[in-house]
Structure 1
Amino acid sequence: MNKVKFLVAALLGVLFVACSEEENLSQTGKTGFLVSLAEDVKVESRSTPEELGEPVASQFNLKITNQVTGSELYNGSYTNKLIPASAGTYAIEATHGENQLLAVDAPYYKGTAEAELADGESKTVNVKCKVANALASVVFSDGGALKFEDQFSKCELNVLVAGDSALIDGVKSAYYRAGSTPTFEFRGILKDGGEEVVQTLTDDKFSDPATFAAGAHCVITLKIGAVEPGVKIEITKVEVKEVTVSETIPMEWLPKPKVTAEGFTDNTLSMYETETPTAKFNFNLSSALQELKFTLNLADETYQSLNKTYTLSELSEEDRTALTNAGIILPVIGFKEASLDFTGLTAKLTGSTTGEVLSNVITLDEVKANNRTLEGEQVYTIQTSAPEFNLVVYPGNTWTRQFTANSQVTHGNVSVISKGLTYEYRTVDGEWTSSLDSIITELTPKTAYKVRGKYGDHYTEEVEVTTYPVIELENGGLEGGTITKGNDSNGSQYGAVYSWSGWCTLNELTCDDTHAFIWGNTAFNSRSGTRPATAREGSNGSASAWIMTMGYGYGGTSGPEIITPSELFLGTLTNVNHSEDTATKNYGIVHKSRPTGLRFYYKYTPYNGDSSDIYIQLKGINGEILGSASLNETSSVSSFKEITLDIDYVDEYKELEPETLVIVFKSGFNSDVKDYETWSLMGSNSAEPSHRGSELYIDDVELVYDK
């Protein structure tokens, strides 16, 4: 059968009688324990716990811990009722007061006990309690020839512990944490001349740890030893006594109420509208709250009707309701755990629309408990500023018919402001139009607008944004493919160079103007790889573009020396060198707009596992790829097929404006000259290239502006 040990520290003015305890236990029929608190040692001294009185048992805190598991069975106010417990070993501790480093008239009580409890057993545990900190008192003896009251207008003993100090005058006692090593100074003001006398006191007992142990009361008796040539203070005796209490403590002995302002720094809380900082006054009470008075002087116009002084015990239902509706949580008289909470109000306070900081002042006029009142008014201020936020419209979020206004919150609750933010926009000379959505739609291309954000009564600065123009491609129908150089007849010096307005090809490179003259039949390979072809059915135009991978250069009809996938692209071809068969492709044209996609028709015949190389790019001023889309077709498409490539814009470059548009239609990637023997071979009398691979047809190209 297991037994339970309990260790308790507490103090009770009226001890439980053993027989009545046993009777109470027998009546419960439950497993658990009753705890009674008892005094320990008794002594007489100034401002000792005996004089201050015995603290009531209900003011003690009781903690019961299972010594095996370490879990707390109970931790709360002392109770003389049965505390249920299972079998086990327990430690009990009861405490009252604060174990401060140094304070005046502030005893700290502690008692401990341990007990074992068996299954089905109830037990009474009596815990003896005593003062657990140490104290010092001073006696100014008048037994000698010189009396203190004749020589000094004021006499005090200064007690110093670890940098803190406390002055006692023979009535009060200084309490310090047990085990500390205090030092003592006499301080007095001479009646004759008002000179201050300060003298450090020494005694052998000051070096004895027992002098400053828990429950030790060091009584220092002083006398005046001499006056000339200077006043000398002597220690008559140092007595060390053990201290406790024996009588019921008067309420006034307990410490005055203290206030801890949660959320305030130097009595001020600075916040922005929409923020919800904690603003709470916690009352540190030794007994139940008896009274609270506070005054409100709120600058917020919504709550100025609350501005007056409130007495908690006299509060009308109307005032109580108004305060509650404002988000103020009131404490309850008669409860020790008490606080005045303004956190709910801070969530509702607003800032000024004119920019100044609003000061909402809370004054604690009176906090009363154990018949003692917090001294002096305590004034606290909640300073409220308007939220700080603005709008920005990025080029990357601007289109031809819409833009997105991005909110940026500098000060305030981002989530709250974002949810409550609305938008207003107008043309430069127009009227404001409201929008709940940050995406402003149904606008006019190439038009200047102004936009601003609104939260409550607060507005952002106006931002000006201009929608992009709708810029169409030149010759998107690929009409007018004309010969600008050479011809396609057999045996000519070079094949015809086909050109299109608005577009560029590699034809100038592949139509060699020298080799045919030397070799005669080389012209069969010296041809345009991009040529006009029949328009798709249903097209408004009369032609399409036929783009093929071809062989050209030396070799005549026997095969290509160089293989080139042909291209149709936006840009220019420069630095054409027929001797080296090289040229510079300058991709892109100036294009300061933001299309959403590229639409066109195509058909394709890939050769030997090839795939098309089709793409569109929008670039920034330094070549950054702001957005792109591509098509790499690997299947055979025998009839014209419509497709729209949606441009994917990169958020990383949303602050950049488009400068260049790149569109490339390329027949494929395969340029391996080793494959030439397997290529399709056209008749030598044809004007088309003698050797060709992948073939791509393009028609009706247009930019899409869906936003």
Structure 2
Amino acid sequence: MNKLVIEYMKWIGGLCSLLLCMLLGGCQENEETDLSGKTGLLVTLTDEDNKAYSRKAPSELEDPLTEMFQLKILYSGTDKSAYKGTCKEYVLLQEGLYDLTATYGDNPVIALDAPYYVGSLNAQEVIKGEMTSASISCSVANSLLSVIYNRESLNKMYESYFVTVSVGSESVDLDADSGKSAYFRAGSSVKLVFHGRLSGTGKEVVYDIPDQEQFANIAVKTHVKVTLGLGDSEISSGVGISIEKLETETVSIAETIPSEFMPKPKLESDGFLNNELSFAETEKKSATIRLKLSSALQELKLKFNSADTKFAGLEQGKEYLLSSAEDKSAIENALGISLPEVGATEAVLDFTSLLPQLMTNKGATVTSTIEVDVKANNRWASEDSTVNRVYTLKCNKPEFSIVTNPGNFWCKEFSVDSCDIKTGDIETISQKIQYQYRKKGDEQWIDCDRLVQFDDYPVDKQYQIRAVYREGIETEPVDVMLETPQQLPNSDMEEWYIEEKKKSGTWPFKDKTYYTFHPYAEGNASSSWWATNNDKAQGGTYALGIWYEGCFASCVSYTEDAHGGTKAALMYLSGCGDGYANTAGTYVGGAMVGSLFIGTYDSGIIQGHDFGSRPTSMSFWYKYKPYNSDAFKVVVSLKNGDREIATGTYEPAASSEEDGEYGHATVDFNYTEPFGKATSICVQFLASNKTSLSQSDFDLGTTITYPVIGDWTVHMGSILKIDDISLAFDK
């Protein structure tokens, strides 16, 4: 017996205790039988230490072979048989005394791995109407010898070798690889003969190992272990064989249990469901097949078939053997896994690292199969034809989609927010994602980054965008609609309409005529975008949170002092006096800042107008004449419903200097995330940014020339002229 065999026997010692639980606990099927009121024996076998075992087998091991032990029951003190046959869990008998003997094996003169077990119990009483428990202690009843070969030493001289062990005229051969022992009747003397073939010449050498007293009259339950190697000095025969070690030990049933008691190997998997594991390409999942072994691993057969071209180097249908170094290397290199070694007592086939290597066929599911058969204890897992030993790996297309916000679709650009990877490895797929876009209706896709920008405003507004992991694996396209740039109507301030109105009654109206200026063409008031606070000039208005009251003349009109064209908007700070149309008189505490805004007036200012695009800034031309020190103000707001999505403010530093020429200003818009589409816009120009006004902010009795209607004397402060407003769309 070689070192592998000795290690193997040590390893199975613990396992044998479990097997004895199954074997010795109850010799027949563990059937539930109603024995109430019957007479006989309940038979239990124990080992020589009188340790009783449960009859239930561990769930991971199959039931042992039954009918292994023979049971003989004699009437006590006689040769008369009451029962003879297979060991049973119970035997019905008459009351009385009985002698019981349990045996396993035939006690041969000499044989390979042929233990003989015997147990007896004398004068066991059986009581009428009772099932009496009878425990029979069993032990090894023959002896054995094993040969351990020092391969490192012997291989220096011999290419092959074995030992013949004989008792009388009968013999068995113990080779270096069989792992078997010679069993013989207790008290026998054995003879050992070495057979070897010399390396290089192949010449056969036969050498009688010298008699040792340990080989004579070997006692029952004795295990003799002989270790052979090459001697340090030449022996007269020239073969150089010596006994390096000679050991004897007493053995138990657990150490000598025969291989047929051992269950065949089993396969158990983790990660598979009914032998199938479905996963997405790149996904990292656990996939293992555990080899349930009752003894050292002897062989493993593995077939791997896959439609994935990556594994074309492995032959379809070929059975790769673990014992073949070439086969083992081919499997490990192709699949990127580690296989166990022959002789391992615990083994797992771990395919976890293989899964991320498997790929679909351009998104179509690819199936790979692994067929496994394992040999241990001289038995194959395939002995049970009902067990499915084929494991299926189904590699599916990873599921992912792009996440977009229509608020990121502007006039000159659009973008993808993110890629939502539902199945597959997020890190792997993210690193290899390629975004693509195309004009809707085109066949050709164009590679791009998450942000697509155009140099100018595309004529075609409809596009599609998608994410591609690799050929054939892409998201569903998402439609993109770009915004169309819009300019504000009457942004050049060329269209104005002067409305003549009559007021009657007592002061302050005094049956006089006054005029209101409207920044739109006559007859087009319903479609006008721009409005003023002139309609409130006769009683007050509300602008930017400020309430102004008591003014009697329009505080917004147009002027022919234009930047471009013939007209520009004019607005000023108007104060209230005690005379008609703010003629020279006494200031009575009311004032109003002239305001030009987008919206309507209906008993108050309603700011904003429907708008469907999002500018990034607004520029305009202005000329300002402050009264004392003042500054004008511009406020812009874009909304999506009631939510403000962008704001912009322009407010120059206060100054007392009058502008001699038109200046240019830009209001940048600050959008807040998440970006939304614009549904309305409001632009408001104010002649002054002051929120608290007093008489010092305007001049009493100033004459101003209104277009068409001539000169009016008013209480007037700072004057703002606005012309040529333009929206910019840089996104």
* 1:530 maps onto 2:556 in alignment: yes
- TM-aligned CA deviation for residue 405 of structure 1: 4.1
- TM-aligned CA deviation for residue 491 of structure 1: 10
Name the structure 2 match of 1:578. none
Q: Aligned equivalents of 1:333 and 1:554: distance in 2? A: 115
Name the structure 2 match of 1:449. 463
Q: Aligned equivalents of 2:266 and 2:625: distance in 1? A: 89
Name the structure 1 match of 2:396. 385
Q: Name the CA shift for 1:312/1:671 in 2 (closer, same or farther; >3 Å).
A: same
Answer yes or no: is the 8 Å Cα contact 2:407–2:674 preserved in 1: no
Secondary structure of the residue aligned to 1:570 is strand
Q: Deviations over 1:18-38 (max 9, x none)?
A: xxxxxxxxxxxxxxxxxxxxx
- TM-aligned CA deviation for residue 386 of structure 1: 1.1
- TM-aligned CA deviation for residue 278 of structure 1: 2.8
Q: Deviations over 1:43-63 (max 9, x none)?
A: xxxxxxxxx999767x69xxx
RMSD: 5.3
Q: Aligned equivalents of 1:374 and 1:283: distance in 2? A: 10
Of residues 411, 423, 431 in structure 2, which corresponds to 1:411? 423
Q: Deviations over 1:111-138 (max 9, x none)?
A: xxxxxxxxxxxxxxxxxxxxxxxx9734
Q: Name the CA shift for 1:384/1:527 in 2 (closer, same or farther; >3 Å).
A: same
Of residues 599, 604, 613 in structure 2, which corresponds to 1:571? 599
Q: Name the CA shift for 1:303/1:235 in 2 (closer, same or farther; >3 Å).
A: same
Answer yes or no: is the 8 Å Cα contact 2:301–2:322 preserved in 1: yes
Q: Aligned equivalents of 1:677 and 1:507: distance in 2? A: 20
Answer yes or no: is the 8 Å Cα contact 1:549–1:564 preserved in 2: yes
Q: Aligned equivalents of 2:675 and 2:572: distance in 1? A: 35
Name the structure 2 match of 1:236. 134
Q: Aligned equivalents of 2:404 and 2:313: distance in 1? A: 42
Answer yes or no: is the 8 Å Cα contact 2:616–2:668 preserved in 1: yes
- TM-aligned CA deviation for residue 310 of structure 1: 1.7
- TM-aligned CA deviation for residue 371 of structure 1: 6.1
Q: Aligned equivalents of 2:27 and 2:550: distance in 1? A: 128
Secondary structure of the residue aligned to 1:264 is coil
- TM-aligned CA deviation for residue 287 of structure 1: 7.6
Secondary structure of the residue aligned to 1:614 is strand
**Alignment-mate amino acid for residue 298 of structure 1:** S
- The more displaced of 327-336 and 374-383 is 327-336
Report how many residues are paired.
Answer: 510
Q: Name the CA shift for 1:690/1:328 in 2 (closer, same or farther; >3 Å).
A: farther
Q: Aligned equivalents of 2:263 and 2:572: distance in 1? A: 98
Q: Aligned equivalents of 2:730 and 2:282: distance in 1? A: 37
Q: Aligned equivalents of 1:698 and 1:414: distance in 2? A: 55
Secondary structure of the residue aligned to 2:407 is helix
- TM-aligned CA deviation for residue 510 of structure 1: 3.9
Q: Deviations over 1:437-476 (max 9, x none)?
A: 2333336145323444433212333433332222222222
Q: Name the CA shift for 1:224/1:546 in 2 (closer, same or farther; >3 Å).
A: farther
**Alignment-mate amino acid for residue 427 of structure 1:** K
Answer yes or no: is the 8 Å Cα contact 2:21–2:55 preserved in 1: no
Name the structure 2 match of 1:680. 698
Secondary structure of the residue aligned to 2:490 is coil
Answer yes or no: is the 8 Å Cα contact 1:607–1:693 preserved in 2: yes
Name the structure 1 match of 2:434. 422
Q: Aligned equivalents of 2:336 and 2:7: distance in 1? A: 40
Alignment of 1:35-74 (within 5 A): none
Of residues 417, 432, 449 in structure 2, which corresponds to 1:437? 449
- TM-aligned CA deviation for residue 527 of structure 1: 2.6
Q: Aligned equivalents of 1:669 and 1:197: distance in 2? A: 110
- TM-aligned CA deviation for residue 364 of structure 1: 1.6
Answer yes or no: is the 8 Å Cα contact 1:512–1:553 preserved in 2: no
- TM-aligned CA deviation for residue 559 of structure 1: 1.9
Q: Aligned equivalents of 1:322 and 1:605: distance in 2? A: 89
Of residues 312, 315, 329 in structure 1, which corresponds to 2:322? 312
Answer yes or no: is the 8 Å Cα contact 2:589–2:695 preserved in 1: no
Answer yes or no: is the 8 Å Cα contact 2:21–2:57 preserved in 1: no
**Alignment-mate amino acid for residue 701 of structure 1:** I
**Alignment-mate amino acid for residue 273 of structure 1:** E
Q: Aligned equivalents of 1:398 and 1:592: distance in 2? A: 12
Alignment of 1:277-676 (within 5 A): 277-283=285-291, 290-303=298-311, 306=314, 307=316, 308-316=318-326, 320=329, 324-333=333-342, 338-351=347-360, 353=362, 357-366=365-374, 368=376, 374=381, 378-391=389-402, 393-406=404-417, 407-442=419-454, 444-445=458-459, 447-456=461-470, 457-481=472-496, 483-485=498-500, 493=512, 496-501=515-520, 503-512=529-538, 525-533=551-559, 539-552=563-576, 556=582, 557-559=585-587, 561-574=589-602, 583-602=603-622, 614-620=634-640, 622-633=641-652, 635-636=654-655, 642-652=664-674, 654=676, 657-667=677-687, 670-672=690-692, 675-676=693-694
Name the structure 2 match of 1:137. 25
Secondary structure of the residue aligned to 1:104 is helix
Q: Name the CA shift for 1:658/1:170 in 2 (closer, same or farther; >3 Å).
A: same
Name the structure 2 match of 1:182. none
Alignment of 1:110-121 (within 5 A): none
- TM-aligned CA deviation for residue 233 of structure 1: 4.3
Q: Name the CA shift for 1:650/1:361 in 2 (closer, same or farther; >3 Å).
A: farther
Q: Name the CA shift for 1:513/1:642 in 2 (closer, same or farther; >3 Å).
A: closer
Q: Aligned equivalents of 2:643 and 2:325: distance in 1? A: 69
- TM-aligned CA deviation for residue 701 of structure 1: 1.8
- TM-aligned CA deviation for residue 396 of structure 1: 0.8
- TM-aligned CA deviation for residue 324 of structure 1: 2.4
For structure 1, the residue ranges without an aligned partner over 5 or more in a row are 1-12, 15-51, 61-95, 108-134, 150-155, 173-189, 200-218, 515-522, 575-582
Answer yes or no: is the 8 Å Cα contact 2:401–2:476 preserved in 1: yes
* 1:702 maps onto 2:726 in alignment: yes
Q: Name the CA shift for 1:329/1:396 in 2 (closer, same or farther; >3 Å).
A: farther
Q: Name the CA shift for 1:165/1:383 in 2 (closer, same or farther; >3 Å).
A: closer
Q: Deviations over 1:213-234 (max 9, x none)?
A: xxxxxx9989996999xxx743
Q: Which has the larger radius of gyration?
A: 2
Secondary structure of the residue aligned to 1:417 is helix
**Alignment-mate amino acid for residue 538 of structure 2:** D
Q: Aligned equivalents of 2:293 and 2:624: distance in 1? A: 88
Q: Deviations over 1:373-407 (max 9, x none)?
A: 55656332222221223346532121223322454
Q: Aligned equivalents of 1:542 and 1:295: distance in 2? A: 91
- TM-aligned CA deviation for residue 706 of structure 1: 1.6
Q: Aligned equivalents of 1:332 and 1:643: distance in 2? A: 82
Q: Aligned equivalents of 1:607 and 1:97: distance in 2? A: 106
- TM-aligned CA deviation for residue 408 of structure 1: 3.6
- TM-aligned CA deviation for residue 271 of structure 1: 1.0
Q: Aligned equivalents of 1:160 and 1:563: distance in 2? A: 104
Secondary structure of the residue aligned to 2:55 is strand
Q: Aligned equivalents of 2:629 and 2:424: distance in 1? A: 60
Q: Aligned equivalents of 2:14 and 2:669: distance in 1? A: 73
Q: Name the CA shift for 1:148/1:604 in 2 (closer, same or farther; >3 Å).
A: same
**Alignment-mate amino acid for residue 474 of structure 1:** P
Q: Name the CA shift for 1:258/1:525 in 2 (closer, same or farther; >3 Å).
A: same
Q: Name the CA shift for 1:147/1:624 in 2 (closer, same or farther; >3 Å).
A: closer
Answer yes or no: is the 8 Å Cα contact 1:569–1:663 preserved in 2: yes
Q: Name the CA shift for 1:661/1:446 in 2 (closer, same or farther; >3 Å).
A: farther
Q: Aligned equivalents of 2:280 and 2:635: distance in 1? A: 50
Answer yes or no: is the 8 Å Cα contact 1:549–1:692 preserved in 2: yes
**Alignment-mate amino acid for residue 137 of structure 1:** G
Secondary structure of the residue aligned to 2:694 is helix
Report sequence identity in percent.
25
Answer yes or no: is the 8 Å Cα contact 1:138–1:220 preserved in 2: no
Secondary structure of the residue aligned to 1:509 is helix
